[in-house]
Structure 1
Amino acid sequence: MKSILVIGMGRLGRNLASALLDLGNEVMIVDEREEIIESLAPKFPDCHIGDTTNENVLKSLDVKSFDVVFVTIGTNFESSLVTTILLKKFGAKKIIAKASQDIQANILSTIGADEIIFPERDMAQSLAVKYSASNVFDYLELSDEYGIFEIPVLSYWVGSSIISIDVRKKYKLNIIAVKTGDKMTVSPAADYSFRENDHIIVVGKPKDVLKITDRIR
């Protein structure tokens, strides 16, 4: 469990704070809009109304006591910038800031943000990969090049083992799990024989995954 401060209760901030709280973390939320904080107060006992570009407001939050601080202020980049500068000034341990453009990311990194997130760009990439093929059931980006994918097995794989098909060599994909209905087999043995309706969880490049899914009709 970590202590986490989330600044900015736009769509990203609200969803992030809610997910963090549900995972058992101690979460404080801050936004300058009174009506937003009042609507979220029933779920978040530790919530504050305040303009985080004001030094006195941030100082009162004791930001250095949090394990992580997220800056998820909506469209006002200047506010994100000033907030990040002040967080660094007051000793925040780890600052993760939202950006929508590379130039914003560069500036935020220069002034002290430890990590930058691109929620819109990341979502766009995820959707593009997922819907480029009708047979990608789930997708998680690991890096600019690699992701984790859930895809169905090819029909002619059924009855054959992982080692006989040699997915890694032929398709440049690493199988990390096999999903059969609600059952998940993690790190399946090389002699595992594929069954009809099996899905495989693989790590690889999108272009290599699409070479397989394009064969599924």
Structure 2
Amino acid sequence: MGEYAVIGMGRFGRSVAITLHKLGHQVLAVDKNEEALREVSDEVTHAVQLDSTDAESLRGVGITNFDAVVVAIGDFIEESILTTLLLTELGCEKIVAKAVDDRQGKVLERVGAHLVVYPERDMGVRIAHTLAAPGLLDYLELSPTFSIEELSVPETMSGRSLGQLDLKTKYGVSVLLIRRDSQLMISPPSDTTLQTGDVLVVVGENRQLNRLESTFEPPK
């Protein structure tokens, strides 16, 4: 069981805090707004009202004792940067900070954030990919050139085995797993026969994945 502090109870911060708590971790929710804390207090371990730009307040809640601190106040740029800087100076083990754009992200990295996340940008990219590729269910970028995708198996592939389709040779992508209802088939063998409704999780270069996407039809 880990211990985490989440600073900023906007939509993003609240989602992180509640999810961590549901996963069985100890979670401290922090915000300077009493109403925001009241809305989340029953779904986290502790909720504390304080100003995260005040070093003494952060020390008072033992902020350096947490496995990671999430700075989820990206919309308030100055406050986000100052909070991240204070956490760095206090010696927090891991700092995850939300940014709204690349410029803010670079500053957060320079003042000590170990990981900078861009939830709005990343969600926009995922939605754009699912709209542009009819059979695409989900998308995760691993690097500027490699991604993981979830694709709904079309009727044209139903009844054929992975060996017959030979996606590695034809498209240069690898099948990581197949999801069939609640069953997961990890590293499925080449004689695995696909069924309509199966979900393929594949990894490869973006240009190869784009070629594969063009052969899929919209899920029904």
Aligned to 2:43, the other structure's residue is in SS state coil
Distance (Å, rounded) in 2 between the aligned partners of 1:152 and 1:3: 37
SS at match of 1:47: strand
Residue 214 of structure 1: how far off its partner (Å): 2.4
Distance in 1 (CA, whole Å) between partners of 2:55 and 2:180 is: 55
Flag as ranges the 4+ runs of structure 1 deviating above 4 A.
Answer: none
Q: CA deviation at 1:204?
A: 2.3
CA distance in 1, matches of 2:43, 2:159: 50
Return closer, same or farther for 1:161/1:50 CA change in 2, 3 Å cut-off.
Answer: same
Q: Which residue of 1 aligns with 2:78?
A: 78
- 2:151 aligned with 1:185, yes or no? no
User: 1:81 and 1:114 mapped to 2: Cα distance?
Assistant: 13
State the partner residue of 1:195. 195
Matched to 2:181, the amino acid is: G
TM-score (norm 2): 0.90
Q: Which consecutive residues of structure 1, in runs of 5 or more, have no partner in the other structure?
A: none
| 1:14 counterpart letter in structure 2 | R
Partner of 2:167: 167
Quick one: structure 1 residues 194 and 103, their matched pair in 2 at CA, closer, same or farther if it must change by over 3 Å?
same
The CA deviation at 1:90 is 1.2
Paired residues, what number? 217
Letter of the structure 2 residue corresponding to residue 179 of structure 1: R
Does the 8 A contact of 1:159 with 1:195 survive in 2?
yes
RMSD of aligned Cα (Å): 1.8
Distance 1:158 1:55 in 2: 60
Q: Which residue of 2 aligns with 1:94?
A: 94
Aligned to 2:12: 12
Which has the higher mean CA deviation after the structures are superposed, 129-138 or 12-21?
A: 129-138
Q: What residue number does 1:48 align with?
A: 48
Contact 1:8–1:29 (CA<8 Å) still a contact in 2? yes
Paired-residue identity, %: 33
Gaps of 5+ in 2: none
State the secondary structure of the residue aligned to 1:210: helix
How far, CA to CA, are the matches of 1:33 and 1:182 in structure 2? 41
Give the CA deviation at 1:34. Answer: 1.1
- Deviation at 1:108? 1.1
